[in-house]
Amino acid sequence: MKVLVLNGPNLGRLGRRQPEIYGSTTHAELADLCVGWGRDLGLDVEVRQTNHEGVMIDWLNGAADDGDAVVLNAAAWTHYSYAIFDACAQLTAPLVEVHISDPHQRPEEFRHTSVVTPYAVEVVAGHGIDGYRRALAIVAGGTPA
Catalytic residue chosen out of the listed positions 99, 104, 112, 127: 99
What is the reported pLDDT for 20? 79
pLDDT single digits (tens) 14-70 = 888 877 777 789 999 999 999 999 999 999 999 999 999 999 999 999 999 999 999
Query: For the chain, what is the domain count?
Result: 1
10 annotated binding-site participant: no
Q: Is 112 a catalytic residue?
A: no
Catalytic residue chosen out of the listed positions 22, 27, 52, 119: 22
pTM of the predicted model over 0.85? yes
32 annotated binding-site participant: no
Range of the domain at 73: 2-139
79 annotated binding-site participant: yes
- 144 found inside a domain: no
Q: Is 127 a catalytic residue?
A: no
- 145 found inside a domain: no
- 125 found inside a domain: yes
Question: Domain with 128 in it: what CATH number?
Answer: 3.40.50.9100
- 21 found inside a domain: yes
The residues, any chain, with a CB within 8 Å of residue 7's CB and separated by 6 or more, are 27, 30, 47, 48, 49, 50, 73, 75
What is the reported pLDDT for 5? 98
- 102 found inside a domain: yes
- 80 found inside a domain: yes
100 annotated binding-site participant: yes
101 annotated binding-site participant: yes
Distances (CA, A) of 66 to 59, 60, 111: 10, 10, 31
- What's the pLDDT band for 113 if we cut at 50, 70, 90? confident
Mean pLDDT score across all residues of the chain: 92
